[in-house]
Structure 1
Amino acid sequence: MPLSPSSFAILGAGLMGRLLAVELARQGHRVDIHDAGSPAAEGSAATVAAAMLAPLAESAITEPGVVRMGHHALARWPQLLAPLAEPVFFQQAGTLIVWHRQDTAEAQRLTRQLEANQHTVPELPRLEKLDSDGLAQAEPTLAHRFAQGLYLSGEGQLDNRQLLAALVVEMQRLGVRAHWHSPQSPDTFSPGAPGQPDWVLDCRGLGAKSQWSALRGVRGEVVRIHAPDVTLQRPTRLVHPRYPIYIAPKQDHLFVIGATEIESDDLSPASVRSTLELLSAAYAVHPGFAEGRILELATQCRPTLPDNLPAIRQTQPGVLEINGLYRHGFMIAPAMLDVTLEVLNTGQSQLSQRFDLALNLAPATVPATSAAALA
């Protein structure tokens, strides 16, 4: 049964907070969103991301449930982007994986792993093995640079910063009341009490660590380069035993390049060593990066739970906490959105079972004041 008109306080205006604010406001609910930062989302992991939608490629380092969430997102993102007033770059041209000859053994191991994962999640498109001619046809700019590759059809990407900005515009258009530079915690609210929201949705990522002590930060480092001499047509990954990288081409020869994962919540600038490795690997994929211009070298920490899997939990009636998206934020956010909406509408979620998502709900999932409205 659809959720009756309610009021929501959303804590954290990163990717999940903005998606929830827009969808709930579109359904006719009153929404207030609170964030410690500004509309630029400078404190959000979503700002420093390649925003790749690559469930099969990511299956090498995550569980089948997350892979299914990523497959779900490939169909959902176009639906979520279509109503936005501002354009957002979205591409679904697949993923290319390449390697140098000395890394063939590592590439063969990865290929076997991806093929096994396709049997586990059969709805995924099958990978295609490319020889040098097939590689040249799929990505002409890499012709004669690599002898072999893998093509993962159907995978995609979007522009993370365009999306975050478009969601702010949409929140304004839909009447969401945004409270910037206004950090809040669930303890500030009493859901269901007079003058209080019916629901509090905590999407603060690492900002929720005082409430969710198991959270930890996993540091990532990303470089944004403008390289007019490089014309990659789709996200490309380089197999390497020490520093595998991804290169995500955005619009106007802008490339987002990343690789590193460090078990740390350190937000200091990138080290010289990791920067050299990142740029050297990018140059090894395409020497045109040598003449590119470094626009930004950014670091950020992704909110991660002990099992590296996302979770939704309810600590008290009327309070839902959505967290632990790790490195898969854009790939799984639509699935997390849809599960959250199911919980709000029905008190449970069938989708969460399909995604093997940890869903820990308190016995009373509906605030006392809104129970009658939902009956």
Structure 2
Amino acid sequence: MHVGIAGAGLLGRLLAWRLSTRGHRVTVFDPAPDAGPPQPGSVYAAGWTAAGMLSPLAELECADAHVARLGLRSLDLWQAIVAQLPGEVYFHRQGSLLLAHRPDVGAAQRLLDLLHSKAPGGMQPRPLPLAKLRAMEPSIHGPAQAWLLEQEGQIHTVQAMLALAAGASAQGVQWHWGQAVTQVAPGRIEAGGRTHGFDWVFDARGLGARPDLPVRGVRGEIFWLHAPGVQLLRPTRLLHPRWRVYIVARPGDLIVVGASEIESEDRSPVSVRTTLGLLSAAHSVIPELAEARIVHSESNLRPALPDNLPMIDTRTGLTRLNGLFRHGWLIAPAIVEDALSQVPGLEAGSPEQVTA
């Protein structure tokens, strides 16, 4: 089949890679100038601005059991996908940590009660004695309580975005960069002043799908810190009174700290309030970060629907995917898998190695 994809963010790249590996002819349209990392001041896909925590249980705080199941499935899919992509993509699945300082233990317990009530069978946070925490993560000091979420993991989002585009290109995907999609319809994409016909169309534009979908932007902000000597093997979430502060290590002595969640479509640079709040919280968990250097900060908008849940809308000739909210990297592979299963002929003869 000849498949057209509107949008080359995370969903668009996953679709292009997966369909091209199955022998389909794929054409993608996106307003970005190329497949590379975004340039300062540009508008770019939400997938670039993420810590890469793959935390289906922890996300039950603001999601439902369906999202958790999608996240668990996606963890298996990511492991299989990363093994087939060109280049290096950092992917680890050694669990994640929930931490709380002493004044916040009560609020943490309420969250844990919520997770226990919503978690599918077999997914429960495990209390972690502080001595065990320090043996596992020697750079962490300060929290009064800790819990291990054993099935969770992380992925290097920038490496994965680049590798998905490279892998799809190697399979013959045609990319039309610098071409914003102005309209999608069954079997048709309008972009670059022309109408392009396809056997099937996927609309994965996020905020670009407005006004066809009631999608809104939710602002998020992150920092990259260069922190030689800091050891952190597992993605960590501090149960902060205001935010859930994520601390995630990456190769090259980098630590990613995020992410605020603000009901605003402001794309301006990171605020002083966020800088003070997130970095102070991260320092309270890992004191060595006092000597880290801020090498990068960015803000972006996550696409969210009114219920903050993901959407797959399929009709003859057209599938719309949207509303991944803060769960994009967590659930995207399973969302793509479910969407393709709804289109006759697209998943026929799928390679066994991609079905983890």
User: Do both proteins adopt the same fold according to a TM-score greater than 0.5, normalized to the shorter chain?
Assistant: yes
CA distance in 1: counterparts of 2:337 and 2:45, whole angstroms: 21
**Which residue type is aligned with residue 148 of structure 2?**
Y
Larger radius of gyration: 1
CA distance in 1: counterparts of 2:242 and 2:125, whole angstroms: 24
Q: CA deviation at 1:13?
A: 0.4
Note the residue ranges of structure 1 that are not aligned, 5 or more in a row: 1-5, 349-375
Query: Which of 35, 41, 44 is the equivalent residue of 1:39?
Result: 35
Q: CA deviation at 1:100?
A: 1.1
CA distance in 2: counterparts of 1:113 and 1:137, whole angstroms: 28
Note the residue ranges of structure 2 that are not aligned, 5 or more in a row: 39-43, 190-194, 348-356
Q: Is the 8 A contact 2:237 2:247 kept in 1?
A: yes
Q: Would you say how many aligned residue pairs link Structure 1 and Structure 2?
A: 336
Identity %: 41
CA distance in 2: counterparts of 1:224 and 1:337, whole angstroms: 29
Q: CA deviation at 1:146?
A: 2.8
RMSD of aligned alpha carbons: 2.0
Q: Where does residue 58 of structure 2 map in the other structure?
A: 57
Partner of 1:75, secondary structure, is helix
Q: Where does residue 209 of structure 2 map in the other structure?
A: 208
Gap change, CA 1:347 and 1:318, over 3 Å in 2? same
Q: CA deviation at 1:122?
A: 0.7
- 1:141-160 to structure 2, matched below 5 A, reads 141-142=139-140, 145-160=142-157
**Which residue type is aligned with residue 167 of structure 1?**
L
Gap change, CA 1:44 and 1:195, over 3 Å in 2? closer
Q: Where does residue 351 of structure 1 map in the other structure?
A: none
**1:228-268 per-position Cα deviation (integer Å, ceiling 9, x unaligned):** 13211111111121233010111122111113111111101
CA distance in 1: counterparts of 2:45 and 2:342, whole angstroms: 25
Q: Is the 8 A contact 2:29 2:181 kept in 1?
A: yes
- 1:1-375 to structure 2, matched below 5 A, reads 6-37=1-32, 38-40=34-36, 42=38, 43-118=44-119, 121-124=120-123, 126-142=124-140, 145-187=142-184, 190-191=187-188, 196-212=197-213, 214-314=214-314, 317-345=316-344
Partner of 2:143, secondary structure, is coil
Q: Provide TM-score, normalisation by structure 2.
A: 0.90
Partner of 1:97, secondary structure, is strand
Partner of 1:301, secondary structure, is strand
Q: Is the 8 A contact 1:128 1:150 kept in 2?
A: yes
Gap change, CA 1:303 and 1:240, over 3 Å in 2? same
Gap change, CA 1:72 and 1:187, over 3 Å in 2? closer
Q: CA deviation at 1:188?
A: 7.5
